[in-house]
Amino acid sequence: MQVMLRLPAVERLRFRAGQYLDVLLPSGRRRSFSIASPPHDSELIELHVRRVPGGGFSERLFGAGGEGTAVLGLGSLLRIEGPVGQFIYRDGSGPALMVAGGTGFAPIKSMLRHVLETGIRRRIHLYWGARHTQDLYEEARVLEWVRRCPQLSFTAVLSEATAAEAAHHRVGFVHDAVLADYPDLSAFEVYAAGPPAMIEAMRAVFPRHGLPAGRLYFDSFDYAPDSKREKEAAGAAP
């Protein structure tokens, strides 16, 4: 679900592309969601929320209530804190690889819109890993960006593709697809957001392919059990 938050008229959330915010639940718990909108277009704050069974926030959005609280709808009031996080876009002129796993696309979308809409010129290749085509929930938008922006390339990678899906998409793990295309990473910066297994694989393997120390910027997402403060629905399924 795409969730749009409108701040009070006198307030603005000043953030950098890639950061996230915390939603404060009535119980006192927090759920963290990456901001999908770019800093220059912050009148509405865009979040991407995947339903998590039993999730303290996502169940309320999808109509199940949860924690004894009302379902959230148009005009509902939320308490938020932010911005939070060190996963931020860094200005540069060299080529960049951006790797999203599931709804790890949210902060990557913020970064891409920042680059594409503010006139920054650098070559970027986006990889989006998911299980099935329906999990590439904004693929049409990305393909439109690619048609309009010659500096942007895009590859979708499906880990559990059906035969029909495999006829039109790469199959396998997204980090393996990156290395198949770019066995030498010495010239790149890499931005990655997604589930812990994806991030850990990249941290372990990418330096062996020449990625310089300090050029892998990442945000590891996981679902939030009731007892933990984690990103509830901002990552691919484990």
Q: What is the dihedral of CA 40, 236, 49, 145, to 10 degrees?
A: 40
Q: Tell me, what's the pLDDT at 236?
A: 29
What does the alpha-carbon distance between residue 134 and residue 75 come to, in Å, rounded to a whole number?
28
**Apex CA 156: angle with CA 150 and CA 157, to 5°?**
150
Pairing of strands 124-130, 152-158: parallel
Query: pLDDT tens, 80-120?
Result: 999 999 999 999 889 999 999 999 999 999 999 999 999 98
- Does CATH number 3.40.50.1220 belong to domain 96-220? no
Task: Tell me the whole-structure pTM to 2 decimals.
Answer: 0.89
Q: How far is CA 152 from CA 127, 185, 187, in A?
A: 11, 17, 17
Q: How far is CA 25 from CA 11, 32, 42, 207, 226, in A?
A: 21, 11, 23, 39, 11
Segments making up each domain of the chain, as ranges: 2-84, 96-220
Ramachandran area for residue 179 (φ above 0: left; ψ -120 to 50: alpha; else beta): alpha
Residue 31: other Cβ atoms inside 10 A: 22
Query: pLDDT tens, 163-197?
Result: 999 999 999 999 999 999 999 999 999 999 999 99
Superfamily of structural domain 2-84: Translation factors (2.40.30.10)
Query: pLDDT tens, 9-44?
Result: 888 899 999 999 999 988 788 889 999 999 999 889
Query: pLDDT tens, 36-68?
Result: 999 999 889 999 998 877 777 888 888 755 554
Lowest-confidence region among 4-8, 118-122, 123-127, 230-234: 230-234
Lowest-confidence region among 22-26, 150-154, 214-218, 223-227: 223-227
